[in-house]
Amino acid sequence: KNSFNTDDAYQFESMLGEDDRMIMETARDYAQSRLEPRACEANQDEIFDMNIPKEMAELNLLGVVVPEEYGGIGASYTAYGLIAREIERVDSAYRSFLSVQSSLVMHPINVFGTEEQKRKYLPKLAAAELIGCFGLTEPDHGSDPGSMVTTATKTNGGWVLNGAKMWITNSPIADLAIVWAKAKNAGADDGKIMGFIVERDSDGYSAPTTHNKMSLRASYTGELIFEDVFVPDANVFPDIRGLKGPFTCLNSARYGIVWGSLGAAENCYQRARQYVMERKQFGYPLAANQLIQTKLANMLTDITQMQLLAWRLGNLKDQGQDHPTMTSLAKRNNCGRALEIARIARDMLGGNGITGEYRVIHHVVNLESVNTYEGTYDIHGLILGRDITGIQSFTPRG
Ligand code: TGC
Ligand code: FAD
């Protein structure tokens, strides 16, 4: 008789190729042995241990899909997703660091950068000798980045940036920022969104930390402020114009979140399962109650769907057969399901569920951010709605 695996009900891990499995096991071992012991305290005290980037780099976990000649390992998108899952099983904040470095900094340099930019930055980013961040969101333009007001004015030999970005993961620790701004004084490019690699020691550049976050406390978040920051022509992405530039990066990062949120959900389910097996009330384990078993059944059903979505999307990306709306569907579904699973798991742990040691509340508050960034739950619903009906409803204009 075949066995039923209550962590992987439809045995998706048995479908993984050998290379992907080895990368998954490396990431799992690292996350459980090195990250997990630090996670509770780091969350409580808002610590991002600056050894973590180097540790990840030593295991080749950063920018894995980038070709070897530029410092990556030329791994599959499935492998990238599996890494995100293992890291976020511990803390979404650590996965956030990895997503930004891999998908939002290395990926655009790899796909939009000149040969010189690739050789200058990618190997150092893969080795965590440089840390990057990605500036799209502005104080007044979050879900609608097309209305951004940060400008890049053409001048002799380069561009002058003015404006501000907000909610930028890694910005306080970043050596360079990928910044999206509207071109001015740029002839045919006037008003178009362009991408820039901005180094932190540029005059007029600052990156203040955002304090008092109750979510992703082990991740640095900050602003990016540009006051007449000069960026040389050599640091412009030469050919990409419009929102397609940042959205191409987001397609990759949102895909990582599809897997990452799965890891957080699996961790909450497994912790709740263990708790209700051990905890007795009214003379019986909590797990003996129908209400509790139904909650576990719902969690496993959701997790199984999340696993299969993530795995299939990874396959499609590896075959070049994916579409951005597939990623929107999976990002929305997996973040929404993960948040619900985490909240229910929190409830099943009773009073213990609100303590850091039991780790579930940590996932709940983190997943609030994960459900919001890279396009909110509702924005991805509207992206799906637009494809289903052919009618955009982001604005009332019909
Ligand atoms: P829209 O008309 O839809 O598109 C404008 C142009 O962009 C192209 N495009 C895409 N290209 C590639 N991939 C995609 N997913 C694309 N989506 C759109 C599109 O083809 C078009 O090109 P062209 O050549 O015709 O001009 O633009 P819109 O202004 O109507 O967009 C609406 C909307 C809601 C879909 C979009 O703005 C959106 O997705 N908003 C959400 C914003 C968002 O996700 N921000 C993320 C910021 S970064 C972040 O959160 C990092 S967190 C990191 C961490 O810590 O893990
Ligand atoms: P808003 O756009 O103001 O949305 C507020 C609410 O209104 C949401 O519920 C939204 O769904 C809803 N809404 C908006 N428009 C519509 C509509 N048309 N119809 C119906 N409902 C709508 N950005 C970066 O560029 N780089 C980063 O590294 C980065 N890291 C982040 C890290 C953290 C911890 C957080 C919290 C955010 C980060 N972000 C980053 C920003 C993130 O992408 C935005 O917060 C997100 O896109 C939402 O934008 P907003 O916060 O301005 O909310």
CA distance 83 to 25: 9
Q: Give the model confidence (pLDDT) of 172-189 as tens digits.
A: 999 999 999 999 999 999
Tell me whether residue 374 is one of the annotated catalytic residues: yes
Does the model's pTM come out above 0.95? yes
Q: Which ligand is nearest to the CA of 222?
A: 2
Instruction: Estimate the crossing angle of helix 36-45 against helix 92-99, to 10 degrees.
Output: 90
Q: Give the model confidence (pLDDT) of 333-387 as tens digits.
A: 999 999 999 999 999 999 999 999 999 999 999 999 999 999 999 999 999 999 9
Quote the pLDDT of residue 396.
Answer: 86
Quote the pLDDT of residue 398.
Answer: 46
Quote the pLDDT of residue 302.
Answer: 98
Q: For residue 155, give both structure tokens.
A: 């001048």
CA-to-CA separations, 390 to 143, 151, 255, 328, in angstroms, rounded:
20, 32, 24, 16
Distance 140 CA to ligand 2 centre (A): 10
Q: Which ligand is nearest to the CA of 213?
A: 2
Q: Give the model confidence (pLDDT) of 335-347 as tens digits.
A: 999 999 999 999 9
Which residues on adjacent β-strands are paired with residue 224?
Answer: 165
314: helix, coil or strand? helix
Distance 65 CA to ligand 1 centre (A): 22
Q: Give residue ranges with CB within 6 A of ligand 1.
A: 96, 99-100, 134, 136-137, 143-146, 169, 242-244, 247-248, 250-251, 253, 324, 373-375, 379, 383, 394
Listed residue (99, 76, 102, 81) closest to 263, CA to CA: 81
Q: pLDDT under 70 in the chain at which residues?
A: 398
Which CB contacts under 8 angstroms, 24+ apart, belong to 377-385?
377/332, 377/335, 377/336, 379/143, 380/328, 380/329, 380/331, 380/332, 381/332, 383/324, 383/325, 383/328, 384/325, 384/328, 384/329, 384/332
